[in-house]
Amino acid sequence: MSNLLRAQLRRTLRGRLFWVELAVAAVLALTILLNGYFGTNLTNAYVFKLVARMFGYAPLMGVFVGLFTAHLWGCDYEFGTLRNPLICGHSRLAVYGSKLCCASLAGLAVTGVWLLLNLVVGLPLLGRPGLSDGMLVCYALASLLMVLALAALCTLLASLVSSRSAAYLLCLGAVAAMVIVGMVLYDHFSEPYLVPTGLMTVPDKATGELVTYVPRNEQYVGGTARVALELALCLLPGGQGVLLCEQGAEHMVLLPVCSLLVLVGTTWFGVRQFRRKELR
């Protein structure tokens, strides 16, 4: 598989899409940082939002990984070269694994560019983020595992079809759907326990005096349902992206565990179906 991976990486570095994605990630990161810097006049409120800018790439990584993976498989579909490694004696597992590794490395490279620019540019301009070093490392590692899960999922989806256009539609459509579903689920998950701006005044039953209190939010999801909702968010790479962007995870251990489950599950299923696929 190492020879196939080197060939995939060589083709990737010679192509334009990978470099375009790196450039777009760099421009987006710098634009968001500089816009926040000049738009807030260095207020403390923005300093504590720096970590949101650091992980603001998370919901967007599906587009980067999906586009790259679809292009990686689509070129072979378009030119009919997917069977060439098999004719040369490589196994289907090696072909699938090389494409998965190439997509994973490309996604990690885009992630690295974003994080590096936030550390190099964001910290001098905006100061330290409002998270401890340990939590910052945990979020960074969770985001890298999320990228690997995205690469595994997009590799599976791209291997299911047999045309370049179908690979693009399936990969980009799936990642867009995951982010939309993740945003909807997070809206319910982020509902506060108490109504933040609601004050109610009622007479006390014992004394009859008026008592003012903050009412409970009826939209709040608690108990077992809250854990299940967070689990559903973490099992969707797009939902994880929203959680990372908003720093909304309440059980950090769920992020890496769910990413590993998605990575292993999609890879196992993808290799199994690719071995049975009829190549044209």
Name the residue type at position 219.
Answer: Q
CB 73 within 8 A of CB 95: no
Cβ distance 275 to 92 under 8 Å?
yes
- pLDDT for 45 equals 43
pLDDT at 58: 78
Tell me the whole-structure pTM to 2 decimals.
0.85
Report the C-alpha gap between 261 and 143 in whole angstroms.
15
Tallying the residues shown for the chain, one arrives at 280
Query: Tens-of-pLDDT digits for all 280 residues of the chain?
Result: 778 888 888 988 998 999 999 999 999 888 877 776 666 544 444 444 555 566 777 788 889 999 999 999 988 888 777 788 878 888 889 899 999 999 999 999 999 998 888 888 777 766 666 667 777 788 889 889 999 999 999 999 999 888 889 999 999 999 999 999 988 988 888 777 766 665 555 555 556 555 555 566 677 777 888 889 889 989 988 888 888 887 777 888 889 999 999 999 999 999 999 888 877 6
Give the pLDDT score at 102: 93
Half-sphere exposure of 86 (CA within 13 A, CB side): 15
Q: What is the predicted pLDDT for the residue at 177? A: 93
